[in-house]
């Protein structure tokens, strides 16, 4: 009997997931423990292994389709084994469900009968890949031909659902009609104005960032306060502590002092829920890390208990793993406060978006030179800005300002005694 392959629930907050890549395809042999697909959870992309042995009999969900957890997305069984194919799970909560038997009949008809080539329909604006409705047979052709599903669907509108015949029509449709026609006069007398564009569907980490940032910005009343830091003492301390064996950066020092300052201001070391606010004793520090495909926030747990060198090692380790896509789920969950730095840029201040469900995030800008008058002398002072965004539902301006003031004071007068604790 064919075995169901389900969309796994890989975290307590995961309600939906989607396949970013099918590693195994229909007809491929699989053994227990073989990775069969990669799924994007609400935190990270993870390879999912097979619990059964056999061949992939049927794939019900195309790449980048969002489906609820525990949905059937494929079947594994013996070669040639017959299954009662189910409909692909709904790609979003708003999309009407398609009856399984109806979908199976449509697909069977498309696969057996040579579909006529339909007349191309008027093109409309591009659509999001999540909004595409297509039969499994149509999706299979799109995958096999290496086409862009959203682009094909857009060109076939106003068709309510993409079928195999539509895809074949798209493939056979002459592409030369979209080429601009140039004449000698236009080439010699009129400058060419060429409009080029590319479409990239929301997927992978970029899709995750989009969803998380949209939810945070739309549900949290953000307030951002800024403070200027005299970086002279920090820069001296950084140079003193850096050795041939280990490099200490400003990010490491700021993270170290932030973790300890949060112990004095626990209201900012918290997370919100529908029921209320949870304040944590342990500081689980999130370090926002920029990747080519988006932003990810690995977490250093119990950062307040680590010595500077240990904290520096932990930050460097999780950042390196993030860039190599080697983070575990444990290294991505449980954060209570996040630091995001644009120190390598020329940005002098910004308003960071809170990493939901945390209540605050600290932004760090680049260092710039500032002229100051000290003891009757004009001196050059390296400074940078802290930008603290906080959830005004959970925190008022006064405690937020008190935390930022204390953090600035510690950074401007760092102590070796504090560092050795």
Give the single-character DSSP code of 90: P
The per-residue pLDDT for 121 is 43
Q: Is the dihedral of CA 286, 327, 238, 344 positive or negative?
A: negative
Give the single-character DSSP code of 162: B
CA distance 107 to 128: 23
Is the separation of the CB atoms in 28 and 53 below 8 Å?
no
- Domain definitions of the chain by residue range: 1-97, 119-180, 204-419
The per-residue pLDDT for 89 is 54
Phi and psi angles of residue 410, each rounded to the nearest 5 degrees, phi first: -65, -40
DSSP string of 204-246, one letter each residue? HHHHHHHHHHHHHHHHS-EEEEEEEEE-HHHHHHHHHH--SS-
Distances (CA, A) of 316 to 78, 228, 340: 47, 26, 14
Phi and psi angles of residue 312, each rounded to the nearest 5 degrees, phi first: -60, -45
> What positions carry a catalytic annotation?
392, 396
Does the domain made of 204-419 have the CATH classification 3.30.559.10?
Answer: yes
Walk along the chain (421 residues) and give the pLDDT tens digit of each residue.
Answer: 889 999 988 776 678 888 888 999 999 999 998 999 988 776 677 888 898 999 999 999 988 888 888 899 999 999 888 886 554 454 443 333 333 334 444 343 444 333 344 444 444 455 555 556 666 667 777 777 778 777 887 777 665 667 777 787 788 776 544 444 444 444 445 455 556 788 887 777 787 788 889 989 999 999 999 999 999 999 999 999 988 788 999 999 999 999 999 999 999 999 999 999 999 999 999 999 998 878 899 999 999 999 999 999 999 999 999 888 888 888 989 999 999 999 999 999 999 999 999 999 999 999 999 999 999 999 999 999 999 999 999 999 999 999 999 999 999 999 755 555 5
Does the domain made of 1-97 have the CATH classification 1.10.1740.10?
Answer: no
Place of tokens 């999780």: 318
Whether residue 2 is preceded by a cis peptide bond, meaning omega within 30 degrees of 0, is no
Q: Is 277 exposed, middle or buried (0-12, 13-18, 19+ CB in 10 A)?
A: middle
The per-residue pLDDT for 10 is 78
The per-residue pLDDT for 258 is 97
Is the separation of the CB atoms in 301 and 287 below 8 Å?
no
Give the single-character DSSP code of 353: P
């Amino acid at each position: 009997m064919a075995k169901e392959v389900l969309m796994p629930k890989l975290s307590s907050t995961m309600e939906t997931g989607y396949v970013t890549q099918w590693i195994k395809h229909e007809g491929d042999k699989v053994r227990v423990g073989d990775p069969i697909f990669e799924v994007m959870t609400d935190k990270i992309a993870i390879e999912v292994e097979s619990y059964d042995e056999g061949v992939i009999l049927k794939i019900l969900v195309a790449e980048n389709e969002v489906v609820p957890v525990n949905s059937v997305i494929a079947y594994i069984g013996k070669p040639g084994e017959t299954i009662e194919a189910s409909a692909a799970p709904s790609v979003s909560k708003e999309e009407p469900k398609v009856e399984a038997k109806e979908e199976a009949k449509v697909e069977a008809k498309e696969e057996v009968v040579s579909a006529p080539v339909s007349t191309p329909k008027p093109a409309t604006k591009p659509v999001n890949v999540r909004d595409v409705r297509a039969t499994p047979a149509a999706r299979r052709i799109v995958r096999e031909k290496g086409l862009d599903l959203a682009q094909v669907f857009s060109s076939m509108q106003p068709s309510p659902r993409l079928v195999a015949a539509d895809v074949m029509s798209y493939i056979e449709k002459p592409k030369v009609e979209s080429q601009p026609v140039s004449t000698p006069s236009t080439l010699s007398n009129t400058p060419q104005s060429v409009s080029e564009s590319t479409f990239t569907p929301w997927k992978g980490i970029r899709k995750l960032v989009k969803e998380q940032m949209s939810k945070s910005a739309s549900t949290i009343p953000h307030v951002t306060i800024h403070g200027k830091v005299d970086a002279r003492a920090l820069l001296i301390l950084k140079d003193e502590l850096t050795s041939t064996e280990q490099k200490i950066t400003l990010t490491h020092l700021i993270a170290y002092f932030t973790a300890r300052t949060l112990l004095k201001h626990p209201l900012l070391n918290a997370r919100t829920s529908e029921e209320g606010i949870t304040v944590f004793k342990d500081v689980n520090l999130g370090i926002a890390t920029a990747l080519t495909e988006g932003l990810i926030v690995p977490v250093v747990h119990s950062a307040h208990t680590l010595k500077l060198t240990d904290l520096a090692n932990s930050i460097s380790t999780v950042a390196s793993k993030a860039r190599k896509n080697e983070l575990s789920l444990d290294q991505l969950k449980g954060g209570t406060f996040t630091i995001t730095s644009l120190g390598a840029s020329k940005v002098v201040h910004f308003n960071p978006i809170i990493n939901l469900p945390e209540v605050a995030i600290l932004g760090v800008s680049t260092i710039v030179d500032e002229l100051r008058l000290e003891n009757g002398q004009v001196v050059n002072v390296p400074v940078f800005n802290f930008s603290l965004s906080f959830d005004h539902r959970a925190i008022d301006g006064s405690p937020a300002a008190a935390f930022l003031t204390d953090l600035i004071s510690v950074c401007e007068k760092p102590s070796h005694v504090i560092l050795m604790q």
